[in-house]
Chain A
Amino acid sequence: MNNDPRRDIISATESVCPTCLQRLSAVREKDGEDVYLVKKCPDHGEFDTIIWRGPLRFTSWNRPKMPSRPLQTFTKTKKGCPFDCGLCPEHGQHTCTALIEITARCNLRCKVCFADAGDHAAADPSLEKIAFYYDRLLAASGPCNIQLSGGEPTVRDDLADIIRLGRDKGFSFIQLNSNGIRLAEDKGYAKSLKAAGLSSVFLQFDGINDDVHLSLRGRALAAIKERAIVNCGFAGLGVVLVPTIVPGVNTGEIGSIINYAARFSPTVRGVHFQPVCYFGRYPQQPHDSTRITLPEILMHLEEQTGGEITANLFSPPSCEHALCSFHANFLVQDNYTLKGITSWQQICCSAAGQNREIPSAIEGREKSVSFTARQWSTPSQCDCATSRVQENEDELDYFLRRAKTHTFSISGMAFQDAWNLDLERLHGCCIHVVSPEGKIIPFCAYNLTSSRGRGLYRTSGG
């Protein structure tokens, strides 16, 4: 599409026009180590957006799956992706994690917010409505991991009832997406959520310094976040730290966040990075310098941990599309350093890996559901005080003892907006939101807005 002689077309996909949201054909173009998504709307012109930067080879980052259809669909395929989400019969992956937005209200006013929370918040869905959401998920995908989201879910006083309801319906892993303010304020609150059946807290955590929190969230939150972690630890709730990474704001905090998180192992179960993406109204296309891609986060991890964490430890996902995420697993050692315990190169390049048939998407989904639930929950036994290899113990014993409590995951997921939306990725999406009507909609489609702020699915005010 581009006439720049430095550009080579790698592959073709589809996307949408950021202005009018009509579906467009698109190509992935390579320029040196960088890759761009390029598309042209007959009405609104050409759009060119960075999707990959850095030495990790774009074409090496793949993990194909055979599409696996939803158990039950709530829409028909009429206009084609991304206009029929519900899920439609063409969708290629089951729900791994479902987000249920239990409120549109929030106690922060963040610059970066998927949910457009706060202003003109719609009424909270009733318990009966939430029961209906749970039932729809069971019908569409069977039991999956649940993330209660918002807004800020802790503004609801019946949160424990919502958790209990989910557990009674048969969802064994329920996670709370929270800014941590209420968890920090009241030690007993975390305990009450744990008693209701909560497994884990997905804690927004953009950095260890208040200037980062002030910049992104408008409030000094460092001490609050730490109190929330400690209270979750007392309550037996696992915590995942979730930084939204914004160029020029907290790219320099990536290594510090990992070091900080490891010191709170085993309460902190891992760090999950989310590169910033642009939902809402953006009359001008966000400049490429305001984006950070997944391989850049891996490079920062390597640089900022002095090579303790290397990019070659990380794998593309078994569940969602390869370009959506990375992950690796570690053991937190006695001195709080991290030792990688998986290596993608060894898995994919082994004889067994190379000779395997392409797995079904549902196989990856099953692995991901159980792995995530296990890793992001608090370990059932904690032998936290004991240290290095002890008397009458060999290294296998030590590893087994330590790994029962001190495994640690580092992952990252790149959401898509109107500029970098790749419909091949959307088609394989496993992170779904339950809409107010009870439709199951891929996260990036649900939050997609045109540059004029028009939502494809989400209606204003939640």
Chain B
Amino acid sequence: MSNFSFISDTEWRCGCCNKELQPSKVNVEYMGSVFNVELMACPACGFVLVPEKLALGKMLEVEQLLEDK
């Protein structure tokens, strides 16, 4: 799979480890559904950066689709 959207150079560093973020395959879990995506993450502790564009874009759309009655 290709993950072109959310892998990009970033000035953010990990606050705990002070390491540069690197592309990483992560599982995003929401209400029981798991999605494999690539995000920038700390190579030491695995803490991921969810860019605003992702949080307010695709993730919000997924959340709305999973919204139950």
A and B found bound together: yes
What is the CB-to-nearest-CB distance from B55 to chain A, in angstroms, rounded to a whole number? 12
- Whether the Cβ atoms of B2 and A400 lie closer than 8 Å is no
- Chain B residues numbered 35-63 whose CB sits less than 8 Å from any CB in chain A: 35-38, 58-59, 61-62
B32 contacts A by Cβ under 8 Å: yes
Measured as residues with beta carbon below 8 angstroms from the partner, the interface class of chain B is 20 to 34
Given contacts A396-B35, A396-B59, A400-B61, contact A342 B1 (CB under 8 A): no
Instruction: Please report the C-alpha to C-alpha distance between residue A372 and residue B68 in the assembled complex, in whole angstroms.
Output: 10
- Whether the Cβ atoms of A394 and B3 lie closer than 8 Å is yes
Residues of B within 8 A of A313 (CB): 32
- Whether the Cβ atoms of B69 and A368 lie closer than 8 Å is yes
- Whether the Cβ atoms of B31 and A400 lie closer than 8 Å is no
What is the CB-to-nearest-CB distance from A431 to chain B, in angstroms, rounded to a whole number? 14
- Whether the Cβ atoms of A400 and B32 lie closer than 8 Å is no
- Whether the Cβ atoms of A343 and B31 lie closer than 8 Å is yes
- Whether the Cβ atoms of A315 and B62 lie closer than 8 Å is no
B33 contacts A by Cβ under 8 Å: yes
- Whether the Cβ atoms of B32 and A341 lie closer than 8 Å is yes
- Chain B residues numbered 1-43 whose CB sits less than 8 Å from any CB in chain A: 1-5, 28, 31-33, 35-38
- Whether the Cβ atoms of B32 and A371 lie closer than 8 Å is no
Residues of A within 8 A of B1 (CB): 389, 393-395
Residues of A within 8 A of B62 (CB): 396, 399-400, 403
- Whether the Cβ atoms of A394 and B69 lie closer than 8 Å is no
- Chain A residues numbered 364-412 whose CB sits less than 8 Å from any CB in chain B: 364, 367-368, 370-372, 389, 391-397, 399-400, 403-404, 407
What is the CB-to-nearest-CB distance from A240 to chain B, in angstroms, rounded to a whole number? 15
Residues of B within 8 A of A118 (CB): none
- Whether the Cβ atoms of A397 and B58 lie closer than 8 Å is yes
Q: Looking at B5, B31, B69, which has the most chain A CB atoms within 10 Å of its CB?
A: B69
Instruction: Please report the C-alpha to C-alpha distance between residue A313 and residue B31 in the assembled complex, in whole angstroms.
Output: 11
Q: Looking at B33, B61, B62, B67, which has the most chain A CB atoms within 10 Å of its CB?
A: B33
- Closest Cβ neighbor of B3 among chain A residues: A394
Residues of B within 8 A of A329 (CB): 66, 68
Residues of B within 8 A of A340 (CB): 32
A346 contacts B by Cβ under 8 Å: yes
Instruction: Please report the C-alpha to C-alpha distance between residue A389 and residue B4 in the assembled complex, in whole angstroms.
Output: 13
- Whether the Cβ atoms of A342 and B59 lie closer than 8 Å is no
A318 contacts B by Cβ under 8 Å: yes
Given contacts A342-B31, A343-B31, contact A327 B37 (CB under 8 A): no
What is the CB-to-nearest-CB distance from B4 to chain A, in angstroms, rounded to a whole number? 6
A66 contacts B by Cβ under 8 Å: no
Residues of A within 8 A of B32 (CB): 313, 340-343, 346
**Residue in A370, A400, A404 whose beta carbon sits within 8 Å of that of B58 in the complex:** A400
- Closest Cβ neighbor of B68 among chain A residues: A342
- Closest Cβ neighbor of A366 among chain B residues: B69
Given contacts A329-B68, A341-B31, contact A392 B4 (CB under 8 A): yes
A319 contacts B by Cβ under 8 Å: yes
Can you list 28 A-B pairs, Cβ within 8 angstroms, ordered by A?
A: A313-B32, A317-B69, A327-B69, A340-B32, A341-B31, A342-B32, A342-B66, A346-B31, A347-B31, A347-B68, A368-B69, A371-B67, A371-B69, A372-B69, A392-B4, A393-B1, A394-B1, A394-B3, A394-B5, A394-B35, A395-B37, A396-B35, A396-B37, A396-B59, A397-B58, A403-B62, A403-B65, A407-B65
Q: Which residues of A contact B (CB under 8 A)?
A: 313, 315, 317-319, 327, 329, 339-343, 346-347, 364, 367-368, 370-372, 389, 391-397, 399-400, 403-404, 407
New contact pairs (14) apart from A329-B66, A341-B31, A372-B69, CB-CB < 8 Å? A319-B69, A327-B69, A340-B32, A341-B32, A342-B68, A346-B31, A367-B69, A394-B2, A394-B37, A397-B58, A399-B65, A400-B61, A400-B65, A407-B65
Query: What 9 A-B pairs come out closest when comparing CB atoms?
Result: A371-B69, A343-B32, A395-B35, A342-B68, A367-B69, A403-B65, A396-B58, A368-B69, A394-B3
